[in-house]
Amino acid sequence: MPAITPPPLPSDDKRWKIVNGTMRKNGFARHALIETLHTVQSSFGYLDDDAIRFVARSLRVPLSQAYGVATFYHYFSLKPPGKHTMTICTGTACYIKGNDKLVALAEKCLGIAQGQTTKDGLISLTTARCVGACGRAPVVLCDGELSGQMSGEEMVSQLEGWARG
Amino acid sequence: MNSEELEQIAETVRLENAKFDHQINVCMGTGCLSQHSDKLKDALSHAVAGQGKKCLVRRTGCMGLCAAGPLVLVDPEETLYQHVKAENAEAIAQSLGGEPVEALQCSLREHFDQQVHIVLENSGHIDPERIDDYIARDGYKALVKALTEMTPNEVIQQITESGLRGRGGGGYPTGLKWSTVAKAVGDMKYVICNGDEGDPGAFMDRSVLESDPQRVLEGMAIAANAVGASKGYVYVRAEYPLAVSRLTLCLRDARRRGLLGNGICGTQFDFDVEIRLGAGAFVCGEETALIASIEGKRGTPKPRPPYPASSGLWGRPTLINNVETFANIAPILRKGGKWFASIGSERSKGTKVFALTGKIKNTGLVEVPMGIKLREIIEVIGGGVPGGHKFKAVQTGGPSGGCIPEELLDIGVSYDALLKIGSIMGSGGMIVMDDTSCMVGVALYFMEFCMTESCGKCIPCRAGTAQMYTLLTRISNGTGTMDDLELLELLCTTVKEASLCGLGQTAPNPVLSTLKYFRHEYMEHIVHKRCPAGACVMKAAEEALA
């Protein structure tokens, strides 16, 4: 097998070295695509075109396949997240405990739909399929931190707290 | 590592523990951690040290009763405290050796008495991040026994005899699966642990991986030896960060102890495990889609046969079992297949872990013997429906399952009984609904789920679920007609029979079961344009208000 020369890092941002590290650990194997995209997302917060191109070239995966994988899995985001993220769980237990009201309230409060980020880039509103904390439904994640038995007032005061900075 | 060395480690742990008069176990599963049980543990350690008590404060996995978290269990008295806050630490430390703190005591005997713990026997009793704790509770004894005293065939024989069936939901006999993979020819074989718990409302696998990860690894290693595999993967959801980090630690410790790697227990057996993160696709719970995902591709299923047992990961024979299935293996080998087969009902052996949630008092994780009546789980263990509301239905099997009405609560829980009444065992989600939940709304909720989670490979599922979603939306908001209902029923059959994989084939189940048992609710929406539960918003009302 001919020696593989990986493409140069897109910039001297240190985070690319972490991404490269994941690929090296997997011997630049094609099956490391999802693992690498996970590293990109955890390092940069989202996957942009440059990142997908870089990973695809490094792993010798067709760009179409890399893009296909990035868009197939809900966990990957192609848009930069806001400074803060409010994630509302939409699992069955949370649904039964009335999470639709939480989603509607948050949308009204922020003036955006789920999956969007406020214009000032401060708060993103997302939903999760199920975070597995059903015993404490309804559940939200404030910047990744889980809070259970969430009431509308509590959630709004958290959102207002972020807005005040 | 051999059995003497294991015994030595266990003895060291026992001697260490004997130095303490008391042991305080603090639940640090996801549920209790979200209520800051980490700070509580620090406060308890501080209080105990401050008062000069000889007491060990231990981090443990899930104790099950998430509704009453954070939970603290004091041994050897077995006093269980609920809703404990850091402020209570001093009082608990003070009470050691005396009367327990009454205000915090959890007295739910009936919740725990009806349960039989096999999979969860260590949950809440050991520190999941310490391999020695696991070894002290008979951990890895089964692996050593399988490697040094038994032939692979004997191991498979024991599993077959136990009657264990796949806990992921399908209920395929585990022994039969193992022997198929063992007989398959290949230069390389794989073992995969399916921890892609996509079913919304279920968290058994998360809890097992967080509370007792070594047990899953031990089960995988035993399986690998029995079928002749040398490489394993644990596929776990990225949404479970705590499970991933504990599993990572656990792999490192097992390698250090020589329980993973080359020449395990001085035999010729080589086995190592890697973690693969899921990325939020429900369809990846399907075995062929999961394999595609491990290969770094989009998680789309393939037609079977060939089954993964003959051609799976990278075309090699592959054994895929669920987390809970692997967690059952070690106790079966320790105590024998016959012991396991003595628990449960005629065709469903052993126990099942359920995530009991929704409109029920004692939400949390329960492990019950197969054959137990649903009514017993809901009314006795679960404590019934709170707030003076009336029980309406219990949903099992998630988006692939169905809603079970009150009149059927006296059936015993087993794979076959649940299938017969139009639901499935599923992976173990059990969601209780009361009179404020609308059954059309629930069907709509699951259809929306299946529609968005459909991978798009086959048309019946991709287009069928979207059409069913449209029809259900119309019925739900009071604009549906009897023709819509007829078309919905027709589509149920088409999607069920023509879809490629389990996701599509079972997607109509929530609709079919609610139509079967709660048809009057559909009729109310269609004929009288009203929602009996008062949950759905009628379009006419919305327009009138606007």
Note whether A136 contacts B66, CB cutoff 8 Å.
Answer: yes
- Domain membership of residue B494 (yes or no) is yes
H-helix or E-strand spanning residue B472: helix B459-476
Set of chain A residues whose Cβ sits within 8 Å of the Cβ of B237 = 132
Residue ranges of domains in chain A: 15-72, 84-164
Residue A2's pLDDT band, with cuts at 50, 70 and 90, is low
Tally of domains in chain B: 4
> Mind listing the pLDDT tens digit for each residue in B126-180?
999 999 999 999 999 999 999 999 999 999 999 999 999 999 888 999 999 999 9
Residue span of the structural domain in which B507 resides: 439-545
Written as six digits, the tokens of B188 are 């390389």
Last residue of a domain, one of B400, B433, B466: B433
DSSP-derived 3-state class of residue B413? coil
CATH code at position B452: 1.20.1440.230
B280 shares its domain with B400: no
Note whether A136 contacts B295, CB cutoff 8 Å.
Answer: no
**Residue A87 and residue A140 in contact, taking contact as beta carbons nearer than 8 Å:** yes
B460 shares its domain with B519: yes
Q: How far is B446 from chain A (nearest CA, A)?
A: 8
- Domain membership of residue B6 (yes or no) is no
Select the residue of B33, B197, B437 nearest A96 (Cβ to Cβ): B437
DSSP-derived 3-state class of residue B425? coil
**Residue A65 and residue B273 in contact, taking contact as beta carbons nearer than 8 Å:** no
B412 shares its domain with B445: no
Residue B257's pLDDT band, with cuts at 50, 70 and 90, is very high
- Domain membership of residue B1 (yes or no) is no
**Residue B302 and residue B204 in contact, taking contact as beta carbons nearer than 8 Å:** no
Class of A84-164 in CATH: alpha beta
B337 shares its domain with B376: no
- Domain membership of residue B78 (yes or no) is yes
- CB half-sphere exposure, B505, CA atoms < 13 A: 10
Question: Over the Cα atoms of chain B, what is R_g?
Answer: 24
pLDDT above 80 for B4: yes
**pLDDT of res. B108:** 81
> Mind listing the pLDDT tens digit for each residue in B350-360?
999 999 999 99
B491 shares its domain with B361: no
Q: How far is B486 from chain A (nearest CA, A)?
A: 27
Written as six digits, the tokens of A82 are 């806001």
> Mind listing the pLDDT tens digit for each residue in B179-226?
999 999 999 999 999 999 989 989 999 999 999 999 999 999 999 999
B315 shares its domain with B180: yes
B294 shares its domain with B151: yes
Last residue of a domain, one of B384, B417, B433: B433
Note whether B359 contacts A96, CB cutoff 8 Å.
Answer: yes
CATH code at position B365: 3.10.20.600
3 state SS for B14-69? HHHHHCCCEEEEEECCHHHHCCCHHHHHHHHHHHHHHCCCCEEEEEECCCCCHHHC
Nearest alpha-carbon partner for B384 in B409, B352, B360, B358: B360
B145 shares its domain with B244: yes
Taking any CB pair shorter than 8 Å as contact, residues of chain A touching chain B are 30-35, 37-38, 61, 65, 68-69, 72-76, 90-93, 95-97, 128-137, 139, 145-148
Residue B111's pLDDT band, with cuts at 50, 70 and 90, is confident
Last residue of a domain, one of B370, B405, B433: B433
B248 shares its domain with B331: yes
- Domain membership of residue B126 (yes or no) is no
DSSP-derived 3-state class of residue B349? strand
Contacts with B433 (C-beta within 8 Å, 6 or more apart), sequence order: A96, B358, B359, B391, B392, B393, B394, B395, B403, B442
> Mind listing the pLDDT tens digit for each residue in B442-466?
999 999 999 999 999 999 999 999 9
- Domain membership of residue B114 (yes or no) is no
Q: Is the dihedral of CA A26, A28, A32, A37 positive or negative?
A: positive
End-to-end CA separation in angstroms for chain A: 55
- Domain membership of residue B317 (yes or no) is yes
B451 shares its domain with B425: no
Set of chain B residues whose Cβ sits within 8 Å of the Cβ of A150 = none
Compute how many other C-beta atoms are within 10 angstroms of the C-beta atom of residue A108: 10
- Domain membership of residue B458 (yes or no) is yes
> Mind listing the pLDDT tens digit for each residue in B510-526?
999 999 999 999 999 99
C-alpha dihedral (B263, B266, B267, B269), degrees to nearest 10: -30
Could you tell me how far CA B100 lies from the centroid of its own chain? 33
pLDDT above 60 for B286: yes
**pLDDT of res. B232:** 97
